[in-house]
Amino acid sequence: MTVTATSVGRPEQPAPPAAPSGARRMQRLVPAATAALSGVLLYVSFPPRTLWWLALPAFALFGWTLRDRSWKAGLGLGYLFGLGFLLPLLVWTGVEVGSGPWLALVVVEAIFVALVGAGIALVSRLPAWPVWAAAVWIAGEAARARAPFGGFPWGKVAFGQADGVFLPLAAVGGTPVLGFAVVLCGFGLYETVRVVVAHRRGDGGAPWRGAAVTALLSLVVPVLGALAARSLVSDKAENGTATVAVVQGNVPRAGLEFNAQRRAVLDYHARETIRLAEQVRAGKVPRPDLVLWPENSSDIDPFANPDAAAVIQGAADAIGVPLSVGAVVERGGKLYNEQILWDPDKGPVNTYDKRQVQPFGEYLPLRPLLGAINKDWTSMVRQDFSRGNKPGVFTMAGAKVGLVTCYEAAFDWAVRSTVTDGAQLLSVPSNNATFDRSEMTYQQLAMSRVRAVEHSRTVTVPVTSGVSAVILPDGTITQRTGMFVAASLVQKVPLRSSETPATRLGTLPELLLVLVAAGGLGRAAVSAVRRRADREIHAEQQRVTEAAR
């Protein structure tokens, strides 16, 4: 008798009659469409929307499409999920440079999701499969954050949870633990529905009871862990307070063209700082202890251009406190994206060079090959930026301010190294004028909120054109600006020096989850080999029996 493949606890049934070819095509299309739509659902869970909980049904549906599938099917379904998620999430990358780079980025990044889909399909036959599957997802994120060209962690599941109940888990083990909890809960949601449906159909027995326990734990443990982790979240001052001013000077107009108006951008930030100084003298706002300007607030090198230095010095004199300025600096024939600590009495006294520079934005990998394909591509990045080699912590009015420049906020190591180097509060100076009014600024703001909780630090976000913000160590935004307006935010914030478990553990939680994923994949591979051997033995026994007849 011909039988279908079975899952744990499911009795073998006679194979159903073959469906008409049209119905079979529809049956194949349903998982594919579901995989793509569940990816879109995950995108909708990301900022600027506050629908963080949609990540759970997104992974529940993704789990339904992958469970008991072959790895080849998982590869294709994972790629569709990746396209559904990343195409809308990263559309901002093509705002000014066209759809080509955006689509190329998505096509490459979705390959990682495809490999994850294949891995989840393999481990989906194991007992407690939601745990293995969630670990496989985090292993995929770990790979995507490191390769190619230094990685692209944008779109980590954790970055969509700034408003969610799972956020405190960032303080436990960083973005890997936070993301693992969300994905586990999503797969646990599907497993719960599957167990309930099977129970109603009468497919009971001990294996199903084990599946029910797995489903329940996958749903409950992440939530309980998040509730317990709330004790790690605090905005209490440990080293006093500092009154910070975040300046958003705005740009003459959106888009890449603003680089041709570099002096105007510098003047705008100086003018807004002088306006702030006038408000302080009038008693309208508190006097700040330090002032933070965004990335690229001076694209004119103040070390090589005395007029630019004079403008910055004038702003520093007006406000009378240390100023952190984002500048493009050339030194030794190399370009650096640099933060400069500018003292009103001493001038420039310290610098920080951005360490994680953006491929295809700040440097161009494969330049000869790309130039041969299209010369316009190489002209957009005429000279590559060089990387800094040490964390940036400025001592400003007694407060230790850690610098994490724009793109670096997406990288776990870049933020953590600044905190372990002594930062008592963080500043994420950014320039998003290139991306107009896209969702990019909101996605990056959510990253900063996660980092605030992860390391229990106040995070300030000075941006050229919006949205600038002040974020407390519990992830709460207390002040924010609009987009493409000149504004300043002044607030007294807590200074903290204690380290969360996430800060102390570093990459260890991620490494452990990668090892869990590797163990699950290894176990699944061994099981697959055994199943194949059993089928071959069974087939050989059938042939012998038939020959004996």
Name every residue whose Cβ is closer than 8 Å to that of residue 453 and which is 6 or more positions away in sequence: 167, 168, 170, 171, 233, 473, 474, 475
Q: Which residues, 6+ apart, have CB-to-CB distance to 287 below 8 Å?
A: 243, 280, 321
φ and ψ of 94, to 5 deg: -110, 15
CA distance 247 to 274: 10
Residue 383 confidence (pLDDT) above 80: yes
In a domain, 142, yes or no: yes
- Of the candidates 369, 101, 370, which has an alpha carbon nearest to the alpha carbon of residue 256? 101
Q: What's the confidence (pLDDT) of residue 284? A: 96
Q: What are phi and psi of 202, to 5 degrees?
A: 90, 10
pLDDT score, position 11: 43
Q: Are residues 433 and 373 in the same domain?
A: no
Residue-averaged pLDDT of the chain: 91
Q: Is residue 83 part of a domain?
A: yes
Q: How far apart are CA 463 and CA 162, in angstroms?
A: 19
- Considering the domain architecture, whether residues 369 and 280 belong to the same structural domain is answered as no
pLDDT at residue number 10: 42
- CA dist 495 and 537 (Å) reads 68
In degrees to the nearest 10, what's the CA dihedral of 57, 58, 60, 63? 170
303, 348 contact by CB (below 8 A)? yes
Name which residue leads in pLDDT, 361 or 8: 361
- The C-alpha angle 389, 392, 396, rounded to 5 degrees, equals 155
d(CA 162, CA 168): 9
| Residue 72 annotated as catalytic | no
Helices (H), 202-320: 206-229, 262-281, 306-319
DSSP characters over 100-138: HHHHHHHHHHHHHHHHHHHHHHHHTTSTTHHHHHHHHHH
- Does residue 302 share a domain with residue 263? yes
Residues 413 and 505 sit within 8 Å (Cβ to Cβ): no
Which of residues 387, 407, 428 is at a domain's end?
Answer: 387
Residue 519 sits in the same domain as residue 488: no
| Non-local CB neighbours of 534 within 8 Å, separated by 6+ positions | none
Question: Of 354, 400, 408, 510, which is the active-site residue?
Answer: 354
**Are residues 401 and 291 in contact, defined by beta-carbon separation less than 8 angstroms?**
no
Residues 6+ apart with CB under 8 A from 523: 123, 126, 132
Is residue 17 assigned to a domain?
Answer: no
Report CA dihedral (155, 64, 217, 475) to the nearest 10 degrees. Answer: 20
| Rounded Cα–Cα distance for residues 104 and 111 (Å) | 11
Do residues 485 and 445 share a domain? yes
Q: List the catalytic residue out of 156, 406, 408, 439.
A: 406
Mean pLDDT of 102-125: 96
- State residue 17's pLDDT score: 58
Average pLDDT over residues 42-65: 98
420 and 289, same structural domain?
yes
Are residues 296 and 155 both part of a single domain?
no
* Whether residue 140 sits in one domain with residue 253: no
Q: What residues make up the domain containing 379?
A: 359-387
Give me the pLDDT at residue 220, please. 94
Burial track 140-154 (b if 16+ CB lie within 10 A, e otherwise):
bbbebbeeeebbbbb
CB 456 within 8 A of CB 234: yes
Confidence band for 464, pLDDT divided at 50, 70 and 90: very high
Is 409 part of any domain?
Answer: yes
Q: Each residue of 129-183: pLDDT tens digit?
A: 999 999 999 999 999 999 999 999 999 999 999 999 999 999 999 999 999 999 9
497 phi, psi to nearest 5 deg: -130, -10
Question: Does 354 participate in catalysis according to the annotation?
Answer: yes
Residues 261 and 397 in one domain: yes
Q: How far apart are the first and last CA of the chain?
A: 17
Question: How confident is residue 253, by pLDDT bands cut at 50, 70 and 90?
Answer: low
Question: What is the CA 55 to chain-centroid distance, rounded?
Answer: 14
Closest by CA to 113, choosing from 132, 88, 141, is 141
Identify whether 15 is part of a domain. no
Assess whether 330 carries a catalytic annotation.
Answer: no
Q: Would you state the pLDDT for residue 207?
A: 66
Q: What is the largest CA-CA distance in the chain?
A: 105
pLDDT at 255 over 70: no
Tell whether 44 is covered by a domain.
yes
**C-alpha dist (Å) from residue 271 to 137, 221, 265, 324:** 47, 52, 10, 15
Measured between alpha carbons, how far is 293 from 272 in angstroms, rounded to an integer?
Answer: 10
Model confidence over 207-228: pLDDT tens digits?
677 888 888 999 999 999 999 9
Query: CB neighbours of 90 closer than 8 A, spacing ≥ 6?
Result: 102, 105, 106, 109, 154, 155
Q: How far is CA 535 from the centre of its chain?
A: 43
pLDDT-derived band at 414, boundaries 50, 70, 90: very high
The total of structural domains in the chain comes to 3
β-strands 487-494, 241-248: how paired?
A: antiparallel
Residues 410 and 396 in one domain: yes
- Provide, rounded to the nearest whole percent, the portion of the chain with pLDDT above 70: 92
Shortest CA distance to 405 belongs to which of 353, 361, 360?
353
**Is residue 96 assigned to a domain?**
yes
Q: How confident is the model at residue 206 (pLDDT cuts 50, 70, 90)?
A: low
- Are residues 227 and 147 both part of a single domain? yes
Give the residue-averaged pLDDT of 487-495. 98
Query: In this structure, are 43 and 184 located in the same domain?
Result: yes
Per-residue confidence band for 381, with pLDDT thresholds at 50, 70 and 90: confident
Helix (H, G, I), strand (E, B) or coil at 373: helix
Structure-token pair, residue 199: 């129970």
Least confident of 262-271, 370-379, 447-456: 370-379
Does some domain include residue 100?
yes
Residue 83 near residue 196, CB atoms below 8 Å: no
Q: Residue 468 pLDDT > 90, yes or no?
A: yes
Q: Is the pLDDT of residue 258 over 80?
A: no
Give me the CATH number covering residue 325: 3.60.110.10
User: Judging by DSSP bridges, how do beta strands 290-292 and 241-248 pair with one another?
Assistant: parallel
Question: Catalytic: which of 295, 338, 439, 510?
Answer: 295
- For residue 57, pLDDT over 90 is answered with yes
